[in-house]
């Protein structure tokens, strides 16, 4: 899951970024409105956190522009002001939810999860594919009931494969959705993480749950072969 945070107050931006990274999200930051709009139009984000008062271009106009261009990514707006008029214009411009600064990270995270749940159309926080189970709230992973300990990136990679079970996911899709802007496409970092993930989730000599689709990418079948 990849999140864009458009916020010019660097302290708040890095506080949000740090917290989200601890929750295994890939996070990109933009410190002004133009850069934020550019990133939002260029990359496939699962969620955008958008401050209203920004240099170059304000949050309300960014939100309108994205909706006008049919970008439907959920948007959580932030503002220091809590005037009713601001909330109304924020929501009117196409934002999905609204938070007034300062806020607690716990409440922020709860709203992020709720927006992600709503947009994925799933009511539960548990993903199940074959005998794998992944709990998005506790971030615990089980295979056949036995818990598996994953690194943050391995977890994010597995979550992405499970959300796209039965689909071929390409290295480009993985780099765009599981890594952030700092991803270096000239390395084999994805293949290395897939290998580590297989080492952890596969049992004995059985064929890997994660199939390699030659020349295209990877696939996690919804049902055993």
- Contact positions vs Ca ion (CB under 5 A): 8, 51, 53
- Closer residue to Ca ion in complex, CB, 14/208: 14
Choice between 51 and 154, CB closer to Ca ion:
51
Distance in Å, CB of 8 to Ca ion, minimum: 5
Min separation Cβ 196 and Ca ion, Å:
39
Q: Cβ closer to Ca ion: 15 or 183?
A: 15
Q: CB nearer to Ca ion: give 101 or 117.
A: 101
CA-nearest of 74, 79, 124 to 98 is 79
Q: For the sheet with 2-6, list strands across it.
A: 26-30, 2-6, 47-51, 75-79, 97-100
Tokens linked to 176: 């765009």
User: What residue is closest to Ca ion based on CB?
Assistant: 53
Nearer CB in complex with Ca ion: 52/174: 52
CB of 77 to Ca ion, least distance (A): 11
Least distance to Ca ion, CB of residue 53, Å: 4
Q: Do 141 and 148 contact (CB within 8 A), yes or no?
A: yes
> Residues 127, 135, 163, 148: what is their CA dihedral angle, to the nearest 10 degrees?
-100
Least distance CB 59 / Ca ion (angstroms): 8
């Amino acid at each position: 899951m990849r999140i864009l945070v458009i916020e010019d107050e660097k302290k708040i931006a890095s506080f949000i970024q740090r917290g989200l990274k601890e929750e295994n999200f890939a996070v990109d930051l933009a410190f002004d409105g133009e850069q934020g709009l550019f990133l939002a139009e260029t990359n496939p984000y699962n969620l955008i956190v958008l401050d209203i008062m920004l240099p170059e271009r304000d949050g309300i106009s960014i939100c309108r522009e994205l909706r006008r261009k049919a970008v439907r990514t959920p948007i959580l707006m932030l503002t220091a002001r809590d005037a009713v008029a601001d909330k109304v214009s924020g929501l009117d411009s196409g934002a999905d939810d609204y938070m007034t600064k300062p806020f607690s990270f716990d409440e922020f995270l709860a709203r992020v999860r709720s927006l992600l749940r709503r947009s994925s159309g799933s009511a539960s926080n548990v993903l199940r594919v074959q005998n794998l189970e992944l709990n998005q709230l506790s971030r615990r992973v089980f295979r056949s009931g036995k818990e598996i300990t994953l690194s943050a990136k391995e977890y994010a990679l597995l979550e992405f494969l499970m959300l796209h079970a039965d689909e071929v996911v390409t290295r480009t899709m993985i780099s765009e959705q599981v890594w952030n802007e700092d991803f270096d496409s000239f390395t084999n970092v994805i293949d290395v993480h897939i290998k580590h993930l297989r080492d952890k989730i596969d049992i004995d000599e059985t064929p890997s749950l994660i199939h390699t689709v030659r020349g295209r990418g990877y696939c996690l079948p919804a049902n055993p072969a």
